[in-house]
Amino acid sequence: MRACWQRPSIAVGCGAVLLVAGFVWHGELRVNDRSAPRNVGPAAPTPVVVRRDAAATKTPMSLRQGRVFDARGFLLVGAEIVPMQHAPVRSDGDGAFQFSVPVGSCVDVLVRSKGQLPRWLRSSEGDPDLLLAQLQPSAPWDAEPSPLPERRDLRGEGVVRDASGRALAGAFVTAIGSGLWARTDDLGRYTLPLPPGAVTLLVHDAGEALHVGGHALRSEPFVGSRDQGSVPLPELVAAPAAAIRGTVRDPRGVPMEGVPVQLRGEGLERRFASGPGGAFRVAGLLQGHYEVQALAFRGAIGSAVSVTLDRAVAELDLRLDAADEVRVRVVTATGVPVVGAFVASTIGGQRRGIAQADEAGIAMVPVAAARTEFDVRTAEQFAPCSVQRFDSEPPTLVVALP
């Protein structure tokens, strides 16, 4: 034993044991049980994190659809459709396009294609029709179309009922001349974007089978009480209305399906397509004067037909005329060819084709019998040439140079 205590390591080890035992006795060294509760005072406050459902925070979107034609009624593939403040899209192989915008929004759309004059359209969620853009061929002297007038952030809220007080669900309401539309819900309520100044509201409701003509109403002019936000609109009580129906036929008299038809009159403008058998029907019309036209389709061009709607239903036929491209020779009164002259043909009030005359003074443009008007201009300054006459056999334009 004495020999063991004489070793230094034994002495150091015993001293360490005594030191640790002293710390344990005074409670300065112990091992805590993690499962035992500890009194550490009030806990510091921590922020509450609320996780939102991604589906709940996503902005609801509305789908807008349309088609693009050229002035002769052929579908335009690859046309660019630019909704303002949204991503552009292009028309597909059927000339169709679609884009999404926030629900309830109104958007201005620029439609353009190579060789065509761009066109602005205005689309609101309640539009009764697809967006139909018919572009005219561009000319070197054309100016870029101006954007549509700026809109105010103003909306009107109202209700539509029939004479019995029943809410009209699914009725269309527009501010005349604005191109802005809304559609009523199941309780007849609607929210309509409003243009600046005085507004006249128009109710256009095709109705049900029991109401052949649907319902319609043109309100008294209304001026909003503010420039932005929401304003209440007077309750609209629509009365029984009238309808126009008819058939669209090709140049041989055969009914044609899918032809775009335009109706204008009494503050209303609609564009729609003929159905099976070339038939179409538009109800919810006020009595009055209308102009109905089958728009250009597959190279054939329609004429506007005037209709006085003074009964429950008016019937009419719409006929398309052939408008083939023709080799037209442009000469002076002395028979000298006008080389390089630009020749534009206008049918039904719209430019349908444009070409530059070759060294023989010949240009290929669409011609539709006696309905065609010509605009001839010089090659350098695009100065107008006076058209003295058009001879159909052979097709010749006699012009006077400026």
Whether residue 284 has pLDDT greater than 80: yes
Whether residue 385 has pLDDT greater than 60: yes
- Quote the CA–CA distance of 129 and 66 in Å, as a whole number: 9
| Residue 168 CB-density burial (10 A; 0-12 exposed, 13-18 middle, 19+ buried) | buried
> 222 is written with which tokens?
């209304």
Q: Higher confidence at residue 111 or residue 19?
A: 111
Angle at 283 between CA 198 and CA 291, to 5 degrees: 70
Closest CA to 64 of 111, 141, 163, 130: 130
Whether residue 168 has pLDDT greater than 90: yes
What domains are there in the chain, each with its CATH number?
64-135 (2.60.40.1120), 154-237 (2.60.40.1120), 242-322 (2.60.40.1120), 324-400 (2.60.40)
Kindly report which listed range (10-14, 20-24, 38-42, 222-226) carries the lowest average pLDDT score. 38-42
**Are 359 and 290 a contacting pair, CB within 8 Å?**
no
pLDDT digits (tens, 9 = 90+) for 345-360: 999 999 999 999 999 9
Whether residue 211 has pLDDT greater than 60: no
CB neighbours of residue 4 within 10 Å: 9
User: Average pLDDT for residues 64-79, to the nearest whole number?
Assistant: 96
pTM of the full predicted structure? 0.80
Calculate the average pLDDT of the chain.
88
User: Average pLDDT for residues 166-180, to the nearest whole number?
Assistant: 94
Contact partners, residue 60, CB within 8 Å, separation at least 6? 102, 103
pLDDT of the residue at 41: 47
- Residue 20 pLDDT level (bands cut at 50, 70, 90): low
> 9 is written with which tokens?
């390591």
- Quote the CA–CA distance of 371 and 376 in Å, as a whole number: 16
User: Average pLDDT for residues 306-326, to the nearest whole number?
Assistant: 95
Share of the chain above pLDDT 90, in %: 72
